[in-house]
Structure 1
Amino acid sequence: MQNLNTASMRVRDGRLWILDQQTLPQRQNWCATDTAADLIDHIRTLRVRGAPLIGLSASLLLALLAESGMARPQLAQSLAALGAARPTAVNLMNNLARMRLALEQEAYAAAMAAEALRLVEEDRSLCAAIAGHGAALVRPGSRLLTHCNTGGLATAGIGTALGVISVAAAQGKVQKVWVDETRPLLQGARLTAWELGEQAIPYTLICDAMAAGLMARREVDAVWVGADRIAANGDVANKIGTYSLAVLARFHDIPFYVAAPHTTHDPACPDGDTIPIEQRAASEVTGVAGSFGSCQWAPQNADVYNPAFDVTPAALISAWVLDTGVVTPGQAQAGIFRRPLAR
């Protein structure tokens, strides 16, 4: 397979390298990823994260394993194991379905390499299309609030919601970005703030609980978030805390936009209640860990509830900004999400 670069993945001389997103922004550490077990560990520990990037990294690894000579049965086993790594992000399942079809070809190694590279290029194209559609909705002088991380670190391209913000900023429309820290893992503080700083886009970091006060003072003009899965009725699963922002935005009459590729749409999932929500380790809530070390602040035996995602009902969403175009609430109610979205 040819060498390639994204913000958080590299293929070099037949090996996949992953940028450890747990050590950012203090340290940029690239991890060699040679087996499905390696990548599953990276996914579960959030060294690699973001719905598009998870699917792409799995596809690239499978292609590299095929090119290295791994037999079809072992590739099928690796594919199945990777598919169980994170249950909420549907991009992983979609990408692996395409890699499974490539695995069925006679010349499966070449077919899988071609398909993995095709998925990367498609994601770059999807991100650019999302950003173009979304930037058209941003008004000049906007103060935008975003949650979690949806930039180049989470995709192969410029990102989804953060890609919209980047293009709108380049057009001179963005006055400031409010960056939620995104508890408990602080992806906003560690990743989004870093990406915006690298692009010289003005931002201010806030604790998640500060968003309501900002909205009450009319200091937020729109909220932009990504999605890990869009159900057939338009409900959206995204990083925990997204739902509360949508409720606050509706109360304060602030537009709430979801930016995502059509590959995040799952017409087989009828509504948000049927989206599987990953439960994560208690240690993420009882303390903190990162490149600086670790610290526990809660009692040792504290009972913990730690869902990685929540579901925002379609009724709270102002528009879904996809690579295929902008979906309005009226279109969602008319059932546009109940069938596959053609590009």
Structure 2
Amino acid sequence: MPRTIDWVDGRIVMVDQTALPQVRLVIVDTVDGLVDAIRRLVVRGAPALGVAGALGVVLAHRTLDGPGRDAAIARIAAARPTAVNLAVGVRRAAASDDPLAAALTVRDEDIASCHAIGDRGAALLAELCGPGPLRLHTHCNAGALACVEWGTALGVVRSLHEAGRVAYVVADETRPLLQGARITAVELAEMGVEHRVVVDGAGPSVIARGLVDAVVVGADRVAANGDTANKIGTYPLALAAARAGIPFLVACPESTVDPATSSGASIEIEERDEAEVLTAAMPEATRAWNPAFDVTPADLVTAVVTERRVWRPGP
């Protein structure tokens, strides 16, 4: 699998997340093209969006001048409001005298941080769950395809798998766009990890039946109090994990922790097009709500694992 996103010959090259499991590369050389790719989820996942934001600033500097450049950079940062890494990547590159060098640093830091997150999360699960092969549950996709490579939540799985300590992984389909079925399943199969895909509504029941030892998910934003925003459907897993008495881990880079957001109540939840939910079989008068994320309160989070620390925000 190629890197999810990279800078090659003066252009952004990314794996088209909408085409998976078919691997197709997309080349972006304009700000308009990048904003469209972000909104359509051609590139997705908090860490990958941070790199996209930083590289977008480079495109803006190379193709635009004056107020037009500033407006373009602002559009990149606002393309998806919940994922804090996008705006962080934009700010880092925009504040630099050498935006390309800053953007490549964001890329390289993501690679290093994902490996550190994987190793730290694997060690924590060994401490919490014991040394035996673990039965893990994840939601959406927080793997190499959500980052540059390796991954956050699936980075933990990768580190455990390399140590021979994964029995199997349960992956939720993650409706309505099926990031779990289309993307996480691809990564698990490529790793050679035994896995089962379940519909989102089955996830809490699988946990309640005692079929899972721990839940490991990513995050798009972590508030200062430890509340976490992740793909819609994460909150029910946290409730089920708390009821079952098993660990619920959030794995993300330190840049996803946003001290400027006091709690989950302050996190803007992206509302996506209802067409992603509605089908031709539904009555014409039917409307839909399509929130892209939900918020898990800090008291349901066993630990937030970053490249720098293990933070236990709960009681």
TM-score range, shorter chain: over 0.9
Asked if 1:257 is matched to 2:249, the reply is yes
Counterpart CA distance in 1 for 2:63 and 2:19 is 33
Counterpart CA distance in 2 for 1:9 and 1:72 is 27
Displacement of 1:114 in angstroms is 0.6
Asked if 1:76 is matched to 2:70, the reply is yes
2:60 and 2:72 in contact (8 A); partners too: no
Counterpart CA distance in 1 for 2:37 and 2:137 is 29
2:272 paired residue among 280, 285, 288: 280
2:136 and 2:169 in contact (8 A); partners too: yes
Displacement of 1:55 in angstroms is 1.8
1:180 and 1:188 in contact (8 A); partners too: yes
* Cα offsets for 1:209-240 (capped at 9, x unmatched): 11222222211000000000000110001000
Counterpart CA distance in 2 for 1:271 and 1:249 is 21
The root-mean-square deviation of aligned C-alpha atoms, in Å, is 1.6
Counterpart CA distance in 2 for 1:65 and 1:79 is 7
Asked if 1:128 is matched to 2:115, the reply is yes
**Local SS of the residue matching 2:197:** strand
Amino acid at match of 2:296: T
Aligned residues: 310
2:50 and 2:106 in contact (8 A); partners too: no
1:27-176 matches, within 5 Å, as 27-66=22-61, 68=62, 70-102=64-96, 105=97, 111-139=98-126, 140-176=132-168
* Cα offsets for 1:147-198 (capped at 9, x unmatched): 0000111111311001000110110110000010011111000000001111
Amino acid at match of 1:76: D
Displacement of 1:132 in angstroms is 1.0
Displacement of 1:15 in angstroms is 1.6
Counterpart CA distance in 1 for 2:294 and 2:237 is 11
2:312 paired residue among 311, 317, 328: 328
Asked if 1:14 is matched to 2:14, the reply is no
The percentage of aligned residue pairs carrying the same residue is: 45
2:56 and 2:73 in contact (8 A); partners too: no
**Local SS of the residue matching 1:11:** strand
* Cα offsets for 1:76-131 (capped at 9, x unmatched): 222111011000000011111112211xx3xxxxx011100111011111111111
Displacement of 1:64 in angstroms is 4.0
1:237 and 1:310 in contact (8 A); partners too: yes
Counterpart CA distance in 1 for 2:285 and 2:9 is 47
* Cα offsets for 1:300-334 (capped at 9, x unmatched): 331211100000000001111111111123xx66x
Asked if 1:304 is matched to 2:307, the reply is no
5+ unaligned residues in a row in structure 2: which ranges? 127-131
TM-score by length of 1: 0.87
**Local SS of the residue matching 1:167:** helix
Amino acid at match of 2:143: G
5+ unaligned residues in a row in structure 1: which ranges? 106-110, 288-295, 334-343
1:148 and 1:181 in contact (8 A); partners too: yes
1:243 and 1:310 in contact (8 A); partners too: yes
Counterpart CA distance in 1 for 2:20 and 2:308 is 32
1:6 and 1:156 in contact (8 A); partners too: no
TM-score by length of 2: 0.94
**Local SS of the residue matching 1:247:** helix
Displacement of 1:7 in angstroms is 2.4
* Cα offsets for 1:44-71 (capped at 9, x unmatched): 11111101111211211322443x4643
Moved over 4 A (4+): none
Displacement of 1:298 in angstroms is 2.2
